[in-house]
Structure 1
Amino acid sequence: MFEGIKVLPVDVISKLHPFKGTDDKTGISNLSLRTDNEEFFNFMSSIVSANGVLKISDNELFINPLKTPTDISEKLRDIINFSNPIRYITSDGLEKTLKNQICVHLLFHYEMCTCERCNLERLNFVRTKELLSTNTYNSTYELLRKGYTYYLLGDYYESFKVFYNIYLDADKKLQPINYTIAKYNLLRLKVFIKSFYFEGDRVDVLKKLERIKFINDERFITQFAPYFLDIYKNLKDMKFYDDVIESVDDSFTQIQKIYYRDKNGGSDSITAFEKMQASFLRFNSYLDHNFIIFNNYKKYGILAKKL
């Protein structure tokens, strides 16, 4: 359902099965997910890591076990990665559980990634270019990563070509996320193409970009992919930035109050620090893992300075 996106907005995660419990006992606060869904909590409690391989300690929880331990580990790894940046899952009203918190972060996999984007982050430009030159991609997600890597390299034309092909090939009904992310990134790339690309096909490229607009998409998504509507609005209206700046501003104000009270002999909670950290981490993960181009460096700088 959510192919093409790895980090979902908090309000979307809380509505999804199996994360969702009852309305008043399900929610995400800072880096913790709170739920009273006993089946989900017990399942997550049963995931263990042995030498980097994930498995289920209670086999009865797997009604239809996969064929090999490797298949099981990879599927469980997808589940754990999907919860990023959630670090803890806490129970709410579960009387039968022996513990009330799961440390999900202990199951995260930190093995060095060899993809083009991660090689670029390690400044291995030679290997990055070698990987970008290959045409072997098994999924649209990998193509999104390729287009995003070209953007990070400053090769806006190659980035445009990748995202434009995804935009043309994606089935709006079957792949609304890939279609929307490609469209959103093309609209961001238009600014860079206008400013920095002056090759012979510049006019043709800009004509293609000028035809791309967010018009009538909401009506289409409401009809054919209603589960994606909240994420679409989050992208189109840049709500992901508005939410984080509001949260960080609020946390910053609370931290100032804590400092004043502490200085004058009072006491207060330190949750504001955790809220600020969680907000920025979730924002950064949302951009980085979903390959979303955010070309407003001034806003990003304002946000980072408050940390």
Structure 2
Amino acid sequence: MHPTFVLVHGAFANSFSFAPLQAELGLLGHRSVAVDLPGHGFQATFTPAYQSPQDPAALATTPGSVKGVTLADNTAHLIGILERAKRNGPVILVAHSRGGITVTAAANARPDLIDRLVYVSAWAPTNLEVGAYYAEPEMATIDPAAFASALAAHPAELGLLRVNFRTANPDSLAALKAAFLADGTDEQFLTFLNTFQPDENLDAGGHADRAQAETWGRVPKTYIRLADDTSLPLALQDRLIREGDELTPDNPYDVHTLPGSHLKWLVDPAPAARLLGTLVTGSMPSA
């Protein structure tokens, strides 16, 4: 039976981000499912205040559907999808960016549903909570201006992260492009930015986001490094790989590298689709 690729998006993203990648996978003969985590996709909040002309005061105070969504909610939702996908054969679970937190939690809880984990420049914490890594040397190159200048509301007051991706502020746009798609054209960057949704939940899981050797550690795993990523720097990606290998030395990462920024692999998905296709044989059940 052929595997199903289950694709899990990162922060402020949704299943729409994976449409070009799914097209490439489909043309290579692979089956895939793109997940919308709770409060994402068509469940997202796009308040009229976010439209043009924007209403900054209303944008800062209008409630959002992702408020109160927790890592446990994301994990339960993903497990439900994995249960359905597993009925049709092996499952290759692919995470990008913040999606790695949910994928790790799902593998901690239900490793039996996953035949291979694939992290694409994604969070796979083992030694520290995700938030703690931001104080580490590997994250010293992160420019806090990328989000700070585009924040549309006070997170603690609104109960969620809200970023104005439809800003016309040139400094904010330049900071966001540098963080996510420095190697793309301005047109590609603005197009991708308009697939983002303004809201993201606050819960990164705390201690619950850390991989567990006895469950997560049993699943074969791949890490795809993005060599030019400034949002999740290569040094941090390599640290996550190293710490994961230290946790499960008998089941180390299968490591690959793609050139490009945090979003380039989704804007130009053919190389990533070909690479993912090479993982299929290793995820097929033994005869």
TM above 0.5, one fold? no
Q: Could you say which structure has the greater relative contact order, defined with CA pairs below 8 angstroms and 6 or more residues apart?
A: 2
TM-score range, shorter chain: under 0.3
Greater Rg over alpha carbons, structure: 1
Question: Which has the larger strand fraction?
Answer: 2
| TM-score, scaled relative to structure 1 | 0.25
| TM-score, scaled relative to structure 2 | 0.26
